[in-house]
Amino acid sequence: MRIRDRNSLAEQLAAARQRIAELEATLSRLEHRDPLTGTLLSLRSFRAQLELDTARADRYGRPLSVALLDVDRFRQLNLEHGYAAGDAVLAGLGGLISERTRMNDLACRTGGDEFAILFGETGPAEAHGAIERLLLELEDVEIGPVRGISVSVGVAGLTSGERPEALLAAAALALEEARAAGGSQAVLFKPAVGDTTPGLAEVSQGSVIAALASALEERDRYTGEHSESVVDLTARVGEALAIGSDEIEQVRTAALLHDIGKVGVPDQILHKPGKLDEREWEIMRQHPVIGERILRAIPGFGAVARMVRHEHERWDGGGYPDGLAGKAIPVGSRIILACDAYHAMTSDRPYRKAMPHADAMSELSGNAGSQFDPDVVQALVGYLFGRRQAGLAAV
Residues designated catalytic: 262
Consecutive H or E run containing 68 = strand 64-71
Residue 109 dihedral angles phi and psi, to the nearest 5°: -100, 115
Q: Where are the alpha helices (DSSP H) in 63-163?
A: 74-81, 83-100, 124-138
Apex CA 113: angle with CA 168 and CA 104, to 5°?
A: 50
CA atoms within a 13 Å half-sphere pointing along the CA-CB vector of 192: 10
Compute how many other C-beta atoms are within 10 angstroms of the C-beta atom of residue 265.
Answer: 21
Residues in the chain: 395
Nearest CA among 332, 360, 329 for reference residue 346: 360
What span, in angstroms and rounded, lies between the C-alpha atoms of 270 and 107? 50
Question: Helix crossing, 200-219 with 164-180: angle to 10°?
Answer: 20
